[in-house]
Structure 1
Amino acid sequence: MAQELTTFLSHSGRPDVQAEAARQVLGLTGSEAGRALLTTHPGLLPALLGLLEAPPGAAAGAVADAWRALVNLCAEPGARAPLLAALPGLPGHLLARALAPSWPWAGEAAAALANLSRDPGPAREQLEKSGLGPAGAEEPGLARLVTALSTPGYNAHAPLHHLASLLHHLSHLPATRAFLLDPARGQIQRLLPLIQAPDSAVLRMGVVGTLRNCCFEHRSHEWLLGPRVELLTFLLMPLAGPEEFSDEEMDQLPIDLQYLPQDKEREPDADIRKMLIETIMLLTATAPGRKLVKNQGTYLVLRELHSWERDPNVRVACEKLIQVLIGDEPEAGMENLLEVSVPPDVEQRLQQLDQQEQQQLQQEQEEAMQTLSRLDGLSPS
């Protein structure tokens, strides 16, 4: 069967035959056994990847199914290495397609790239080398990525929400964080309005995840919390509801958080609410950061959120942050919580707990993707 599919996917095949072969391949990507078959058969992946470029005479349906099949394959951890082996330049090629304003399959290219870059290793490294780092071309790839995300209608053919997931994954790299946090470039400020993008939880999750990673750079906290960025206001806004405060309490809040309308709604996604809280927690790691966070009414927003919140994981994160906000200052030598020396056994246990949480989250995401794959053949990242 795999050999026949390889032949039928060929550029020289009849459009109707190509379309049927691509449909069969897309169906195979909906199961673990099918994805294993596709990644282990020589010649099939190059044939599929060749169809992505819409050769003359190819049926539009075949190209669409080929792109969707690639998205699903990139979501399979065991398929990523074979994909990179079949086409070593795949990450850079997908990036170019995702950032091409008129490319009709840019959304699928962005989703495939986001899936491919989930794991640290070759894909992220290739993207760095392809110009996503600070030493890129005239306009570095990261700047073009932020432009594509923050420009409404950048591609009239496709939404590019999955580029936010890609940026989130790339922000694990120190060079990416340094680029985004460079005050002279103003990249972070362009991302902030997307925290409340109404049409895509994928977009909001990717942007908030990127900001959370950037907040591990504690030397940037005062700049992020200061008047040039005002990050805290953007993080608190999705957590705030329509509650009324006394005049004295209202004066403690940033101006944009005062007198919110009665129909003000909170971020609907619990995972994003939790990530927003975690990002604020990181900003309290240093003494100056804690002071700035405390002095801008953060406790008031968290207090009301805790009363409203029903998700247990978000409530726990909220309680941890409230403890920091109302607790005493750490003793001398412990002011910067990101630089505190942790005993090896405690650090190992914390790493194990974090790993377990990440594995559980990844499993839930993969199960959700498999469900969506059965519905429409396209897996989100």
Structure 2
Amino acid sequence: MSELKELVGFLHDENPQVRMLALQHLLPFTMRTNPHFDIFREDDYRPVKQLKALLVDKPQIASQAATALVNVSQNHEVRRYLIDAEFVQTVLGIITNPEHGLADLCCMLLCNLTKEDDIVNMFDMKVPLREYSLSSNAIDQLMDCFVKGSNHGINQYANYDFLANVFADLTRFERGRKYFTEAQAYDDVIPISKVVVFTDHASVLRRTGVAATIKNVCFDTTFHASLMDEDGINVLPYLLLPLAGPEELSDEDMDGMFDELQLLPDDKKREPDLFVMKTHVESLILLTATREGREHMRLRKVYPIIRELHLAVEDEDIRALCDQLVQMLVRDEEPVVVEEDEDDVLVEID
């Protein structure tokens, strides 16, 4: 342990080569499963604070520091020393810089930081205006990076897939769900409508985060009507297409079904990742919370898709969720009751 403490002392050496060597030797100990991880708790987490400073050091040093920070930030106690506004601002600045080589590593770091509730303050942060965005709000630029930067569209060093998990964590908060479901002033587009189109993306990492983001928004029934608005977000086809297979459906089954779900090719594959598939079915169940949602799903023939999914999958958890969803769709609804009061109000029973 004394040798490790000596190495830590070299992290702020004036000689960059010394800092680099010290960091390289300490990197294996940044894994939270390493028996000597406690070295980073020494002296009120001073080594962690030094790693923060190294993130803006010379490129080779900064790269090693970013990797170390990704590793140590998996620890909840360490994250408390990383979540200050100045450091988060630094991380956001790197991510949104289209020429920075550490953008994706910092997306991974931000993904860990968003496990902390204090990260909600990120909605108030600003970053330098970039040519790919019309907004200096950090969250808006992250969204633009995610959408326009997919497959290295903005930064040759980054694909921004990890931002999907950042969005999933942000939608744990009411403020996050509100952001994702309201048209933004800078482009007049509802952010969740930009995200749902990636439910069939090649990256399972991106699909996983997108699925979780949609599900988190679905927890709030306030947004259900907007989510299912066919002139707006229209989330149902994006949830159903990954669940659909190549099975032939009858004309009766397809009557009212979304066009993109009809007459699928013989080689149509379902979502291969069971977690993503499970999350999509859970989102559909959440959307049955209101009578309006259930009736819309019946009209759009969700049942045949789920029926065939139940027959095709072997995973018992997914089959049980399919059963739960079907029960909500085939249930008898109580009739609408008219209360004869002075205002002649129609009361809808859910």
Distance 2:274 2:309 in 1: 12
Two-structure CA RMSD over aligned residues (Å): 2.3
Structure 1 counterpart of 2:180 = 180
CA contact (8 A) 2:5 2:39 kept: no
Structure 2 counterpart of 1:318 = 322
Distance 1:260 1:34 in 2: 55
Structure 2 counterpart of 1:158 = 158
- Three-state SS of the structure 2 residue aligned to 1:148 is helix
Structure 2 counterpart of 1:63 = 62
Task: Decide which of 199, 219, 222 is 2:222's aligned counterpart.
Answer: 219
- Three-state SS of the structure 2 residue aligned to 1:284 is helix
Structure 1 counterpart of 2:94 = 97
**Identical positions, percent:** 28
Measured after TM superposition, the shift of residue 157 of structure 1 is: 0.8
Measured after TM superposition, the shift of residue 130 of structure 1 is: 2.1
- Three-state SS of the structure 2 residue aligned to 1:314 is helix
Q: Rate the CA distance shift 1:39–1:202 in 2: closer, same or farther, 3 A.
A: farther
Q: Rate the CA distance shift 1:88–1:11 in 2: closer, same or farther, 3 A.
A: farther
What does 1:67-216 correspond to in 2, within 5 Å? 67-84=66-83, 89-119=86-116, 121-122=117-118, 124-131=119-126, 138-151=135-148, 152=150, 153-183=153-183, 184-198=188-202, 200-216=203-219
Distance 1:322 1:90 in 2: 48
Distance 1:191 1:107 in 2: 18
Measured after TM superposition, the shift of residue 314 of structure 1 is: 1.6
Measured after TM superposition, the shift of residue 277 of structure 1 is: 0.8
Measured after TM superposition, the shift of residue 142 of structure 1 is: 2.4
Listed as ranges, the gaps of 5+ residues in structure 1 are 337-381
Distance 1:173 1:6 in 2: 37
Q: Confirm or deny that 1:279 pairs with 2:283.
A: yes
Instruction: Tell me the TM-score normalised to structure 2 length.
Output: 0.84
- Deviation per residue, 1:41-79 (Å, 9 max, x gap): 453222222221133xx6x2x432221111111112232
Distance 2:250 2:135 in 1: 52
User: Structure 1: which amino acid aligns with 2:10?
Assistant: F
Distance 2:309 2:283 in 1: 16
CA contact (8 A) 1:2 1:44 kept: no
Between stretches 159-168 and 326-335, larger displacement belongs to: 326-335
- Deviation per residue, 1:182-202 (Å, 9 max, x gap): 14432222112111111x222
Distance 2:159 2:13 in 1: 28
- Three-state SS of the structure 2 residue aligned to 1:103 is coil
CA contact (8 A) 1:165 1:205 kept: yes
Please tell me whether Structure 1 or Structure 2 has the larger radius of gyration of its CA atoms: 2
Q: Rate the CA distance shift 1:11–1:49 in 2: closer, same or farther, 3 A.
A: farther
Measured after TM superposition, the shift of residue 138 of structure 1 is: 4.6
Distance 2:287 2:259 in 1: 20
Between stretches 137-146 and 165-174, larger displacement belongs to: 137-146
- Deviation per residue, 1:211-244 (Å, 9 max, x gap): 1111233233223212222210010011111111
Report how many residues are paired.
322
CA contact (8 A) 1:5 1:44 kept: no
Listed as ranges, the gaps of 5+ residues in structure 2 are 128-133, 338-346
Structure 1 counterpart of 2:341 = none
Structure 1 counterpart of 2:257 = 253
Q: Rate the CA distance shift 1:2–1:106 in 2: closer, same or farther, 3 A.
A: same
Instruction: Tell me the TM-score normalised to structure 1 length.
Output: 0.78
CA contact (8 A) 1:171 1:210 kept: yes
Measured after TM superposition, the shift of residue 163 of structure 1 is: 0.9
Q: Confirm or deny that 1:27 pairs with 2:28.
A: yes
CA contact (8 A) 2:306 2:326 kept: yes
Bigger relative CO (Cα 8 Å, ≥ 6 apart): 1
